[in-house]
Chain A
Amino acid sequence: MNFIGLFYLLLAHYFSGKGFIRLFRLDLKPMVNFCLSLITGVVLLSFVPCILQLTIAHNPITASNVTIGIAVFTAIFSLPLFFPFRRPQFHQFKLPEIYEWPFLLVTAALVVLSVWRCFYFPPFARDMLTGPELLAEYAVRDKTMLSSVFNIDLGLKKITVDGIQQVSLAESNNNNIFKSSYIIGLQIMYKLLVQPFGQLWMSVLYIPFLMLVYQMLVERIHRFLAGLLLFVFVITPDLYAYSYVMLYDYSNMIFFFFGYFYLIKFLNNDKFNYLLWSGTLFGFATFIRGETLILLMFVAPLMLFHYYKKHTPFKTWAIQMIVFFSLSFVFYVITVDVFLVHFVPYKASVGSLLNKNLIDVSEIWRRMQEINDRLVFGKMGEGSYGYFIYFFCIVVFIDLIIRLGWKTPLNREALLFLYGVGVVYFGLSFMGYIIPANTLENTTKRGLFKAMPLILFYMSNSIILQKISLLLSRDRTSKPVVKPVLRTAPRPAPGTAATQSRPAAKSPAKPAQRPPVKGK
């Protein structure tokens, strides 16, 4: 393995991602900024081989050209770093509390194993060997993305539509060559600069993702519970497997989750730059898997409801929504009209995949039933998601009882994450109706990954776990909750850990005043 090449790529991911994030002028903590920079840098650099390919006459895909391409790309994206921006506040680094260590150590051991498997094994999934991995391998061997792969028997079924010869995706044995250039680009870079099987970029996504998730969890819930939730998330069998089995779904999940997370931020602070950033992240998710565009349709009602509640003028919300959705659309166009047109010498007939009988909407209901019976509560689901979804259902059920019995309201963020879970669930059912070729065992099963981090963050905001968190925080010796989000949380006595945990800047706030009760 070429460690210098890996180090070079890590730096390139970090600086290109950091510079790109700077463009959005987000208020991020240093740790969040670091992890997001790496994650964003991965998707940004995946464009480098494609750009080289577009100028192939002068730039064959070789290690030296890719290295120069990455350097130029990183330099361009790092430009915003030279402009002054408010310096982030670095807090003193604290070691985790003793009770976090068991969770963190087990998680770290699993992460190490995941990295090892990324390194050791060649790509295995059939979808990769007959598509992106094959294309990347021969792009490296032939020094062009229009490689000799297109001269072999790809099992394509050619049809004529409107006098133009196209490939019927529904009838072909293999439609994997028509997928996004995301994995192809990354595999080319990692094969040339790091090791023959590439793949280590998955760990470059996985580790910062888990660090970021943990950081975000401890901001919401007691560290003991944050560790527990992270642990349960990591040991979800299929989620863990796809951290080292190369496919599009894990990356898609990461960008979809962060897109939704920053959309929630926008709904809370109404800052347009957060909406732009969220739209960009959803755009990345769409670039990785084009079907994400269908899921985004279900996000629109949430935004409309928000604008309605805020009495936002029509012109403002119309412009914001157009900008938000057009970002994803642009990335979709990049995949279909740039990548497929320039790098695949066949025209795909996407129409052949679509449902011909759209009048029969019962298919949506049937697909929802299938998801429930086989994936969510079935044996297949148990093998794939463990008991993660069961835990979620139990927490929702308890929350419902507390909500109805004690009139304790669920906090806003929990509701928004719950809506996100609904977006994925109904979106995938709808997708199964639009594209019947999306099988339950593959596309839908892995598509449900997108709901997993949303479920995790719902649980971290749930009434029951917030109550337990508050209970744990009352102890003087344990780490307190940083930001209690339960509305009806009893106010801790002055001097206790829970009050000490509040940020210093907020401490001189006025004492809470109750609104005058009507009729008195």
Chain B
Amino acid sequence: MLYNKLNLFLAAILVIVLILYIPVYNNWLNSKIINGADYNFQMSHLAPEERMINRFGTNYNVYHAIANSLKQQNAVDPVVLLPPRKYLKAMKLEGDFDVVEPEVFYYFTGYKSTSFNSPMSDRAGWALVVENHRPGLKKITDTAVLNAVRNLYKKYN
């Protein structure tokens, strides 16, 4: 009766425990499955906006605030100039905010943006800058301002 059903049942449990005790699987289980997320929090925050914030964190919040700011200022077809990553790092920005690609910016906000070294940067009417360790928008009023911002960004490229 070595292989009776009960023995196999217990063996199955033992095998599962042993496999999940192997460090690689144990780390995976703890970091991605058990502690990977707060399920109670998720269950109580089901609105799409909340789920976006839960997934993308600070980034989504900041870009959403930028979009709201553009909307409040009635900007017509605005194009936002995005800085290089090193610029944000040098400015010692608070939080884990990071520069996204223009495609992701459009996905988050519905507004166009451009990288500072792209041909489209000539059309930029706004620039993402850091003031007092916080991200904000600067209006580009003429070509001189645009070139000044681009030159600033280029230093950190």
**Contacts from A to B (Cβ < 8 Å):** 97-103, 106, 110, 113, 116, 120-122, 124, 126, 129-131, 133-134, 137, 149, 151-155, 173-174, 196-197, 224, 227-228, 231-232, 235, 237, 240-241, 382-383, 386-387, 471-472, 474-475, 477-478
Query: Contacts A134-B107, A383-B24 hold; do A103 and B12 have CB atoms under 8 A apart?
Result: yes
Q: For chain A, what secondary structure do more than half of its interface residues adopt (helix, strand, loop), or is it mixed?
A: helix
Q: Which of B1-9, B135-143, B147-155 contacts A (4 or more CB under 8 A)?
A: B1-9
- Give the chain A neighbours of B11 by CB distance below 8 A: 99, 224
Contact of B19 among A134, A227, A235 (CB under 8 A): A235
A151 in contact with B48 (CB, 8 Å):
no
Contact of A237 among B32, B42, B54, B104 (CB under 8 A): B32
Query: Contacts A153-B113, A155-B118, A231-B19 hold; do A478 and B104 have CB atoms under 8 A apart?
Result: no
Interface residues of B in 112-145 (CB under 8 A from A): 112-115, 118, 120
A121 to B101, CA, bound (A): 20
A120 to B52, CA, bound (A): 9
A475 in contact with B4 (CB, 8 Å):
yes
B16 at interface, CB cutoff 8 A? yes
B11 to chain A, nearest CB (A): 7
- Give the chain A neighbours of B102 by CB distance below 8 A: 152-155
* Chain A residue with Cβ nearest B39: A116
A374 to chain B, nearest CB (A): 16
Q: For chain B, what secondary structure do more than half of its interface residues adopt (helix, strand, loop), or is it mixed?
A: helix
A-B pairs with beta carbons under 8 A, tally: 128
- Give the chain B neighbours of A99 by CB distance below 8 A: 5, 8-9, 11-12
A477 in contact with B4 (CB, 8 Å):
yes
27 A–B pairs (Cβ distance < 8 Å), ordered by A? A101-B9, A102-B12, A106-B16, A110-B33, A116-B42, A121-B54, A124-B56, A126-B104, A130-B104, A134-B106, A152-B106, A153-B114, A153-B120, A155-B102, A155-B103, A155-B115, A173-B115, A174-B103, A197-B51, A224-B12, A232-B19, A235-B20, A235-B29, A387-B22, A475-B1, A475-B4, A477-B5
- Give the chain A neighbours of B156 by CB distance below 8 A: none
A197 in contact with B114 (CB, 8 Å):
no
A105 to B24, CA, bound (A): 21
A129 to B108, CA, bound (A): 10
A289 to B51, CA, bound (A): 29
Contact of B101 among A149, A174, A241 (CB under 8 A): A174
Since A149-B106, A240-B32, A471-B3 are in contact, a sample of 9 more A-B pairs with Cβ atoms closer than 8 Å, ordered by chain A residue number, is A99-B8, A99-B11, A103-B16, A126-B101, A134-B107, A173-B115, A196-B48, A477-B3, A478-B3
A237 to B25, CA, bound (A): 8
A513 to B3, CA, bound (A): 32
**Contacts from B to A (Cβ < 8 Å):** 1-6, 8-9, 11-13, 15-16, 19-20, 22, 24-25, 28-29, 32-33, 39, 42, 46, 48, 51-52, 54-56, 101-104, 106-107, 112-115, 118, 120
- Give the chain B neighbours of A154 by CB distance below 8 A: 102-103
* Chain B residue with Cβ nearest A177: B103
A100 to B12, CA, bound (A): 8
- Give the chain A neighbours of B22 by CB distance below 8 A: 386-387
A335 to chain B, nearest CB (A): 21
- Give the chain B neighbours of A131 by CB distance below 8 A: 103
B55 in contact with A129 (CB, 8 Å):
no
B5 in contact with A478 (CB, 8 Å):
yes
B28 in contact with A129 (CB, 8 Å):
no
- Give the chain B neighbours of A126 by CB distance below 8 A: 101, 104
A95 to chain B, nearest CB (A): 13
Most A CB within 10 A of own CB, among B9, B39, B114? B9
Contact of B51 among A122, A173, A386 (CB under 8 A): A122
A229 to chain B, nearest CB (A): 11
A46 to B125, CA, bound (A): 39
Most A CB within 10 A of own CB, among B12, B25, B106? B12
- Give the chain B neighbours of A472 by CB distance below 8 A: 3, 8
* Chain A residue with Cβ nearest B29: A235
- Give the chain B neighbours of A231 by CB distance below 8 A: 16, 19
B142 to chain A, nearest CB (A): 21
A382 in contact with B106 (CB, 8 Å):
no
A130 to B13, CA, bound (A): 44
* Chain B residue with Cβ nearest A391: B19
- Give the chain A neighbours of B106 by CB distance below 8 A: 134, 149, 152
- Give the chain A neighbours of B4 by CB distance below 8 A: 475, 477-478
Most A CB within 10 A of own CB, among B9, B106, B114? B106
Contact of A386 among B25, B101, B120 (CB under 8 A): B25
A475 in contact with B103 (CB, 8 Å):
no
A97 to B2, CA, bound (A): 16
A121 in contact with B112 (CB, 8 Å):
no
A89 to chain B, nearest CB (A): 28
- Give the chain B neighbours of A98 by CB distance below 8 A: 5-6, 8-9
B52 in contact with A152 (CB, 8 Å):
no
Query: Contacts A103-B16, A149-B106, A152-B106 hold; do A113 and B5 have CB atoms under 8 A apart?
Result: no
Which 5 pairs between the two chains have the least Cβ-Cβ distance?
A: A99-B8, A475-B3, A102-B12, A130-B103, A153-B114
A149 to B110, CA, bound (A): 10
